[in-house]
Amino acid sequence: MNFNIAIAGNPNCGKTTIFNALTGARQRVGNWPGVTVEKKSGQYNYSDIRFDVIDLPGTYSLAAFSAEETVVRHYLEQDEAQVVVNIIDASNLERNLFLTTQLIELGKPLVIVLNMMDMAHEKGLQIDADTLATLLGAPVVPVVGRTGEGMDLLKEKILRVSTEISMKSRFIDISYPRDIEIEIEKLTHLIKRDDESHKQSRWTSIKLLESDKQTRDEVRIHPDGADILKQAKNSIERIELIFKDTGRAIISHARYGFIQGALRECVVESLVDSVDYSRKIDRLITNRWLGLPIFGLFMWLMFKLTYDLGSIPMDWIDAGLISLMNFISALMPESMFASLLVDGVIGGVGAIAVFLPNIFILFFIIAVLEDSGYMARVAFIMDRVMHNIGLHGKAFIPMIMGFGCNVPAIMGTRILESRRDRILTVLINPFMSCSARLPVYVLVAGAFFPDNAATVIFSMYVLGIVAAIASGKLFSRTILKGMSKPFVLELPPYQRPTLRSLILHTWERGYLFIQKMGTVILVGSVIIWVLGYFPRDVQVERDYQKERMELVEDYDYQMINLGTKFNKSVQKDRQEYHSEMIAYESSSSYQELHHQFQQLQDDLQNKEALELYRLRQQEIGDITEQKWIGRVGKIFEPIVRPLGFTWRESVALITGFVAKEIVVSTYGVLFGVGEDIDEGSQGVISGLRSSGMTPLVALSFLVFTLLYTPCLATVAAIKRETGTWAYTIFSIAYSLGLAYLLAFGVTYFGGMFNWLS
Amino acid sequence: MFNFKKPRHKLHIADENDLRLSDLKPGEKGRIVEIGGSENFRHRLIEMGITRDAEICVDKYAPLRDPMELIVKGYHLSLRGMDAQKICVERIA
Ligand SMILES: Nc1nc2c(ncn2[C@@H]2O[C@H](COP(=O)(O)OP(=O)(O)O)[C@@H](O)[C@H]2O)c(=O)[nH]1
């Protein structure tokens, strides 16, 4: 036997805390179909009965304004949940009860939970739960979610209500002013012919008087729909005439009236001398002068911790991956499968796996900011700035996070309540230059602008911000116009976060990252590997084998020459040596000659190794040109030629789709210097310089790299958060278009004035 | 006090000279007289407890001056100045 129960309540009322206390670790996170609103479900057993719990998104009302409200309305109007558990912040009763009045009218068996009783006591509120229960017609359970106090009683009450579902007699009606009741009566009378229960027809009538669109749509398909809607129209007009306001406003006011009446009967506010700590903290943290510097400090700390702390395990993971690759290479004979495993799977997924520590730390810090209540203050402080691009203040957080990595940043847009804001933030986020782009800037700027590298790199960051702001303004005036919601933001009291909840939050998001990004990156890496691996036998024009032998011969010859020269010098020196006291071999002049010889010999050997290495990499470059990936690069070459790019840039940019930092290693391969930037960056730099690329084209390449879609993982994140391929494809197309346009602008106008040629 | 012809479509704010919520200084208290603006906006505010006759206190302004922090029905809420301008209040001591 099992029951379905749904948890509903305002944002910040402690819903998640109660949900976790009820279900423990047995929970799953998914999305509601069609919308990117998180759907959390879990279960627990109580006296041999299983309870399946759904944690509904936090809402202030059931008006079907936002995606969240629609989800809640829709779910509760279905028959899926047998019992609704309404969580209420006892320290903020009046506003929290507004939703309760609607839940009462909805008519589902209800259990009301007075959470945060500790805070209510601190505020000096004495709440008579029994009277409240009588007034609301539902059991009321006081709890402290944070400590778990009262949870057993809650489970007991849920059980009782679930098993006594037939007892509907206790339901009460919220009563409205007489003139409204008359109209409700008229409507219920009409609706009742459809065999609905009293509760349901009253709910429908009230919603009709509130001009609720969803209800009107539902009524329209009823047999008497037309009549009912006509009556509703008349009723609304009458109400407006009498009350000089909309039905909805009057009904909302009446609900608050009911709540105030109830509170008068069951709440005693003693005049305790309580200190409002939260307000005191806020006096400092959102202070006129200190607010911004403190915010800046927190952001800086967030970055610092994420990257500095994250780099330690990053090195371990890196080392671990390398030894894993070596281990597998040693274990397995060279084969296609081995290459797929080592170069494709481990190489590709590993490139993302090294970012895991950063991502987890970032998610942890965000959880701290959210749970403590600071996130709402960030929105408060930064709203002025973000409002300029048509966004909510909270959108600032994902934008800043984008400097680190766009993937968690895009996933972080979940903190935004409106879908339109989320989509807008997701679309402009990739322009924030993530850390993976930095190696590309360092390399290319270092090669072409050695004196101004820092300036060039900095201007890339600025250009990214400008592109984000401009695009944001553009989108909010075109494709995402008019869907903006007013800024009405609750500033909940500060709370000390519990470790348990922090870990849960971090893990939830981190797990999604691993799961979703893992699959996409895996597929992407394998595709790139396939492109680079096939066809197996390629013909290159240069005879590398012969060149290699000639090279070795040449060096052997030089080596012999060097030896001969040394011997001659020694002979000559020995003849001029006269001392009898010390043997010639121990003399300082011989020592010096010998030392010189050894040094020359070492130099020669190093040069040989380097040239052999370069030859090998040139061969790889030539082979790559013949592989599918090279051919793909060649196909795209005509398209990128106006930008001044060759097939090499084309290939680099294509592989950059998997992850931006790959651009550097691709260049390494293509310019025949090696994949390891630490070792070969000098080589790449000289390779880049000698490839005929001008500084202007290099700048254009940097602009392109900055602006086009950051990586596959970002694409996956965009798909996940926007929920549709349409926005995902739009995002890719837009950023590619913008990248092309601006890069072309750089090449074209720069060329016109002969800059940097 | 107000002259309503077609309440559904007409802003409820009658007079340019009425005191607006955005006119209150930090620490000042007001009583809500009327809320203007779009239907959705009005209803959102009413649902959040900014009801007629409710007491509202301006706690402070954000560092960049724009959103303001309000206390209503015992909790803290933030509104933009341009939205607060749509709310008529009367000052209370
Ligand atoms: N003092 C106190 N804090 C609580 C209680 N229940 C939850 N909280 C805190 O309130 C904040 C919001 O809780 P959360 O469960 O995330 O709320 P949600 O937004 O409704 O899911 C968190 O910082 C919790 O630790 C409680 O009973 N007492």
pLDDT tens figures, A691-736: 778 899 999 999 999 999 888 889 988 998 888 899 999 999 999 9
Residue B16 included in any domain: no
Burial of A226 (0-12, 13-18, 19+ CB in 10 A): exposed
Q: What confidence score (pLDDT) does residue A169 get?
A: 45
pLDDT exceeds cutoff 50 at B2? no
Out of A92, A249, A489, the one facing B46 most closely (by C-beta) is A249
pLDDT tens figures, A501-554: 899 888 887 887 787 667 777 787 788 788 888 888 888 888 888 999 999 999
Q: What confidence score (pLDDT) does residue A405 get?
A: 79
Out of A98, A287, A491, the one facing B77 most closely (by C-beta) is A491
pLDDT exceeds cutoff 70 at A225? yes
Q: What confidence score (pLDDT) does residue B67 get?
A: 92
Residue B81 included in any domain: yes
The string of DSSP codes covering A676-743 is -HHHHHHHHHHHHHHTT--HHHHHHHHHHHHHS---HHHHHHHHHHH-SHHHHHHHHHHHHHHHHHHH
Ligand 1 neighbours (beta carbon < 6 A): A 9, 11-17, 58, 115-116, 118-119, 144-146, 371, 495, 497-498, 501
d(Cα B81, Cα B68) in Å, to the nearest integer? 7
> Which two structure tokens, joined as six digits, stand for A522?
């895996």
> Which two structure tokens, joined as six digits, stand for A73?
């309305």
Angle at A88 between CA A85 and CA A90, to 5 degrees: 145
Least confident segment among A30-34, A184-188, A644-648, A745-749: A30-34
Q: What confidence score (pLDDT) does residue A680 get?
A: 45
Least confident segment among A81-95, A269-283, A324-338: A269-283
Structural domains counted in chain B: 1
Residue in the block written with tokens 């680079």:
A532
Q: What confidence score (pLDDT) does residue A340 get?
A: 85
The string of DSSP codes covering chain B is ----SSTTTS-S---TTS-BGGGPPTT-EEEEEEE-S-HHHHHHHHHTT--TT-EEEEEEE-TTS-SEEEEETTEEEEE-HHHHTTEEEEEE-
Q: What confidence score (pLDDT) does residue A476 get?
A: 87
Residue B44 included in any domain: yes
Kindly state the percentage of chain A with pLDDT values over 90.
34
How far off is chain B from A287, nearest CA to CA, in Å? 6
Superfamily for A2-162? P-loop containing nucleotide triphosphate hydrolases (3.40.50.300)
Residue B1 included in any domain: no
- Residue B50: name the closest of B76, B25, B28 by CA: B76
CB A656 within 8 A of CB A712: no
d(Cα A63, Cα A69) in Å, to the nearest integer? 6
What's the whole-number average pLDDT of chain A? Answer: 85
Kindly state the percentage of chain A with pLDDT values over 70.
92
Residue B86 included in any domain: yes
Ligand 1 centroid – CA A115 distance (Å): 8
d(Cα A415, Cα A431) in Å, to the nearest integer? 20
Q: What confidence score (pLDDT) does residue B3 get?
A: 41
Q: Enter the DSSP assignment of A587.
A: S
d(Cα A71, Cα A34) in Å, to the nearest integer? 10
Is the Cβ pair B63, A291 closer than 8 Å? yes
Domain interval for residue B62: 21-92
pLDDT exceeds cutoff 80 at A593? yes
Q: What confidence score (pLDDT) does residue A530 get?
A: 86
d(Cα A151, Cα A252) in Å, to the nearest integer? 32
pLDDT band with cut points at 50, 70 and 90 for residue A70: confident
Pocket perturbation via mutation, ligand 1, pick of A88, A146, A505, A509 by most ligand atoms within 8 A of CB: A146
Kindly give the number of the ligand 1 atom that is closest to the alpha carbon of A371. Answer: 23
pTM of the predicted model as reported, rounded to 2 decimal places: 0.79
pLDDT exceeds cutoff 60 at A407? yes
CATH number of the domain to which B32 belongs: 2.30.30.90
Residue B10 included in any domain: no
pLDDT exceeds cutoff 70 at A249? yes
Q: What confidence score (pLDDT) does residue A470 get?
A: 93
d(Cα A62, Cα A393) in Å, to the nearest integer? 25
Residue type (1 letter), B61:
Y
Mean pLDDT value of segment B24-32: 93
pLDDT exceeds cutoff 70 at B41? yes
- Strand duo A488-490 + B75-79: pairing: antiparallel
* Secondary structure class of A211 (helix, strand, coil): coil
What percentage of chain A's residues is helix, strand, coil (to nearest 5)?
70, 5, 25
d(Cα A735, Cα A747) in Å, to the nearest integer? 18
Q: What confidence score (pLDDT) does residue A669 get?
A: 64
Burial of A613 (0-12, 13-18, 19+ CB in 10 A): middle
Residue in the block written with tokens 């000098």:
A682
CB A410 within 8 A of CB A426: yes
- Strand duo A2-9 + A83-89: pairing: parallel
pLDDT exceeds cutoff 60 at A460? yes
A344: number of Cβ within 10 Å: 20
Element (H, E) at A29: strand A27-31
Residue B11 included in any domain: no
pLDDT tens figures, A467-493: 999 999 999 888 887 655 678 889 999
Mean pLDDT value of segment A5-19: 92
* Secondary structure class of A312 (helix, strand, coil): helix
d(Cα A542, Cα A544) in Å, to the nearest integer? 6
Residue B28 included in any domain: yes
Q: How far is CA A178 from CA A175, A185, A244, A250, A261, in A?
A: 9, 10, 15, 12, 17
